[in-house]
Amino acid sequence: MEYDKVLVLTDFSTYSNAAVTAAIDFAKKYDSKLTLLNVIRDATNLTFVLSDSEYHKLEKKFQTHANELFDKLETDIPELKEMGYERKIRIGTPYVSCLYEIDNGNYDLVFAGSHGRAGLRKVFMGSTAEKVLRRSPVSVFIIRI
């Protein structure tokens, strides 16, 4: 089986950083193209209290912050920048946005951390990772640390 395109789900937590590291090793071994996806949780309820322009400014701030976190990730895991990868940022419900990217990105494999920023809120697996694992049309590696 070929693994040409590999997607890594990241929320920049310790768990997802472990998934990034594992995916880098995998991508090197199989000569795969690596894409990292960060989903900014949709805050549509803010549209009721913010004007459209204020809401769009907030979205831009979230995206700028995500790019800063990607830059920090490159500093923390230098192999990432060395091998090259694609950054993707989406805004929405995390598991829905991840599944949308998986469906439309023609990926062969997905890596995810067992837990997200919420840590041990879920005993065995983070809710986003669990939902993606159950619904993904391609194999998903869940990385535990």
Q: What is each CA distance from 69 to 39, 47, 73, 76, 89, in whole angstroms? A: 12, 25, 6, 10, 11
Alpha helices in the chain, H assignment, sequence order: 14-30, 52-76, 78-83, 94-105, 127-135
Question: Among candidates 27, 5, 17, 3, which has minimal Cα distance to 115?
Answer: 17
21-25, 70-74, 123-127, 131-135 — which is least confidently predicted? 123-127
Which pLDDT tens digit goes with each residue over 19-65?
A: 999 999 999 999 999 999 999 987 667 767 888 888 888 889 999 99
Q: At what angle do helices 127-135 and 94-105 cross, to 10 degrees?
A: 40
Share of the chain above pLDDT 90, in %: 72
Parent domain of 80 = 5-143
Which pLDDT tens digit goes with each residue over 111-121?
A: 999 875 554 44
Structure confidence at residue 36 (pLDDT): 98
Q: 126: domain CATH number? A: 3.40.50.620
The domain tally of the chain equals: 1
**pLDDT of 127 over the 70 cut:** yes
Strand partners, 120: none
* Category of 119 on φ-ψ map: left (φ > 0), alpha (ψ -120 to 50) or beta: left
